[in-house]
Structure 1
């Protein structure tokens, strides 16, 4: 069961900071989602909690890297179990699933060295969009060039000014 973060309007933090921070600390996630009118929501947490998140991602990444270095079959095994964590990879070609795995681990390794997790989320989002394309056979064929239809070949170079 997932515990949802506490929620409040940003104005509550401004008007009642002590009470709002107390709600944040009383939540199991030790965070509070702050809604802002017309802007992206903020998530307020303690610095220690934010560091814990990066530490967990870093530790998990180090385990995957070590596993992939230790056992040559680990990449194949991880590729096979990836659909459990990311069900949408079923739409990707097998080679792309392996590429996603390697890119995810490499990005996680580099990102956690900087104390960041946003680049990891970006890689996941990009591969998910790729899976969405493969899930639509007509779109996949159109974008991969398998069905060029009325393709007239390369466009001619534009004429130079004055020609």
Structure 2
């Protein structure tokens, strides 16, 4: 029998093969560390994350309730967006490189996406929002790169871009 370290801060780990060969023992390890879940490593693909349905539902509920609080605050307090824009750097320190109007735009997009994602019971759509704004901040943080991206590469007109092919 395995002893449980109550102070464990990382998810349990197993290979997908191990999970398939010894599901009872692997799930028991997950249960020992249910607060952090379990990472299932795969040789031929992205790692999987295993948790309980109750835990996943709780995470979704927390995201939804936090989002509802922010939405209610923004609807009832005319200064809420300004206040949140000023405190957003506590959660996302890299926003300091964004212009003020871009921080506000990020805040609104983040809250709107969080609200829509909460309705779907997922947090997945938030990651690309944060990643794209973080990449934008990275461009602003490098004056040389920012200038290069703002400068046209040539005077030649290449015409209208074609839409990507349908899959």
- Do the aligned residues in 1 keep the contact of 2:117 with 2:123 (CA within 8 Å)? yes
C-alpha distance 90-25 of structure 1, shift in aligned 2 (>3 A)? same
Per-residue CA deviations over 1:89-143 (Å, capped at 9, x if unaligned) read 1111111000000000000111111112111111111111111111111221222
TM-score (norm 2): 0.85
Three-state SS of the structure 2 residue aligned to 1:7 is strand
The superposition leaves residues 28-69 of structure 1 with CA deviations (integer Å, 9 ceiling, x where unpaired) of 525100011131000011111111111110000000001111
- 1:34-53 map, 5 Å: 34-53=40-59
Structure 1 stretches of 4+ moved >3 Å: 153-157
Structure 1, 101-110 or 127-136: larger mean CA deviation: 127-136
Decide which of 5, 9, 13 is 2:11's aligned counterpart.
5
Give aligned pairs, total. Answer: 154
Alignment RMSD (CA, Å)? 1.9
Matched, 1:33 2:75: no
Contact preservation (8 Å) 1:30, 1:49: no
The change in CA–CA distance for 1:93 and 1:16 in structure 2 (over 3 A counts) is same
Could you tell me which runs of 5 or more consecutive residues in structure 1 were left unpaired when the two chains were aligned.
158-163
In structure 2, relative to structure 1, the CA distance for the partners of 1:156 and 1:99 (3 Å cut) is: closer
